[in-house]
Amino acid sequence: MILVTGGAGFIGSNFVLDWLAAADEPVVNLDALTYAGNLENLASLRDDPRHVFVRGDIGDGSLVAQLLHRYQPRAIVHFAAESHVDRSIHGPEDFIQTNIVGSFRLLEAARAYWRRLDDAGKAAFRFLHVSTDEVYGSLGKDDPAFAETNRYEPNSPYSASKAASDHLVRAYHHTYGLPVLTTNCSNNDGPYHCPDKLIPRIIHNARAEKLLPSYGDGQQIRDWLYVADHCSAIRRVLAAGRPGETYNIGGWNEKANLDVVHTLCAMLDELSPRADGRPYREQISFVADRPGHDRRYAIDAGKIERELGWKPAETFASGIRKTVRWYLDHQDWVANVTSGAYREWVGKQYGACS
Ligand code: NAD
Ligand code: DAU
């Protein structure tokens, strides 16, 4: 079996669902259920013996050691993180604790477990660390896309904490020989995405007749990938990646934020028109920019394509259409996550726009 951390979050839950749809290898899912973790994402696995959910912190070394001892996984796929840049600006502490200290404790537990495996078990074991393109910093308009060889230049507490975890993972390979793999992916869209992030937030606010906040001039560029493609890339790296290597993952889909917002508005006009017949784009509102906002991300996914034969199945257009349809078809999920702690946070962060 495999141990997944953060498997109740956006990408982790998509990964667990896709993994168990594709094969029968069981998953132990360790997740602290922060505001971003949601067991509803995994409701279809409630009675499935192949999925063992454990609520707990990756920073709890003795819990992780117990799980490794009990379930003897052949791999750890590490998604658990504080993931939202805006939150990291308001309160970096949790990012340091989970992304750096938590990853360190997980690595320590993995190292102790791995050392005691027999030779075949040692050779087969993998620690796959899921990271982000944000560690590379911000690109200028004409710069080439991020390659795996780019220098690390993180600009937010979030990206700095992810960069630190990437360095720890690398060091555990070089120093101790732990068979690690690191993936650095671009922005994802898809089901179960917490609506504090751009795409689900725009869909939610549009339908709730709220403003659609565009930070600064809205011309910042992100490189979008449908979440199922991120999951298939991780499965491919886990199966065939070379220990110690890093792999960039992306869909060659650079888009300015404002263009993404306009695309979403046009899709909603078509699929779920406003009661008054007016276009959703009238709700767009330019708000104060994010401090230290990275201008452009772009991923060169050439290495994973060449070496591992991975390619995304979705284009930006096909992926975002699936995403919008999923949100329209899952109003209950959206209503549940937009209550309680989430509301408190958006009220504090976004004031009138929330
Ligand atoms: P998310 O915030 O939706 O989910 C994170 C999950 O981790 C939640 O279920 C949360 O409960 C859990 N978690 C947080 N702290 C924990 C702790 N201390 N112990 C155990 N569980 C904990 O995040 P996401 O968007 O699904 O991102 C998953 C991973 O992918 C992160 O490492 C992120 O850096 C990386 N990533 C995300 C994107 C993206 O577009 N969302 C792109 C590239 C890489
Ligand atoms: O690039 C990968 C990263 O993508 C991941 O590592 C992060 O975990 C993930 O959260 C995401 O980070 P971003 O900061 O790019 O995502 P977010 O959805 O917060 O913002 C996307 C862009 O949209 C960014 O330029 C800020 C802008 N934005 C965001 C929100 C929430 C807005 O203009 N308005 C908004 O309301």
CB 4 within 8 A of CB 77: yes
Nearest atom, ligand 1, residue 192 CA: 3
pLDDT (0 to 100) of residue 351: 55
CA distance 76 to 68: 9
The CA-atom distances, in angstroms, between 77 and each of 5, 47, 100, 106, 194 are: 6, 23, 16, 11, 21
CA distance 125 to 115: 10
| Number of neighbours of residue 276 by Cβ within 10 angstroms | 7
Ligand 1 within 6 A of 6 CB? yes
Q: Which residues contact 166 (CB under 8 A, 6 or more apart)?
A: 129, 131, 135, 152, 182, 184, 246
Residue-level length of the chain:
354
β-sheet bridge partners, residue 78: 5, 129
pLDDT (0 to 100) of residue 197: 97
| Number of neighbours of residue 214 by Cβ within 10 angstroms | 21
pLDDT (0 to 100) of residue 211: 98
Q: Which residues of the chain have pLDDT under 70?
A: 340-354
Active site residues: 133-134, 158
DSSP code of residue 287: E
Nearest atom, ligand 2, residue 86 CA: 19
DSSP code of residue 189: E
Nearest atom, ligand 2, residue 81 CA: 8
Ligand 2 within 6 A of 197 CB? yes
CB 21 within 8 A of CB 50: no
pLDDT (0 to 100) of residue 338: 83
DSSP code of residue 99: I
197: part of which helix (H) or strand (E)? none
pLDDT (0 to 100) of residue 352: 43
1 CA → ligand 2 middle, Å? 33
The tokens describing 341, both together, are 């702690």
The protein residue whose alpha carbon is closest to atom 3 in ligand 2 is 187
CA distance 281 to 260: 11
Q: What is the pLDDT of residues 326-341, one digit of tens each?
A: 999 998 998 888 876 5
Q: What is the pLDDT of residues 70-126, one digit of tens each?
A: 999 999 999 999 999 999 999 999 999 999 999 999 999 999 999 999 999 999 999
255 phi, psi to nearest 5 deg: -140, 140
3-state secondary structure of 292: coil
pLDDT (0 to 100) of residue 339: 78
Q: If 0-12 CB within 10 Å is exposed, 13-18 middle and 19+ buried, where does residue 24 land?
A: exposed
201 CA → ligand 2 middle, Å? 10
Ligand 1 within 6 A of 201 CB? no
pTM of the model: 0.96
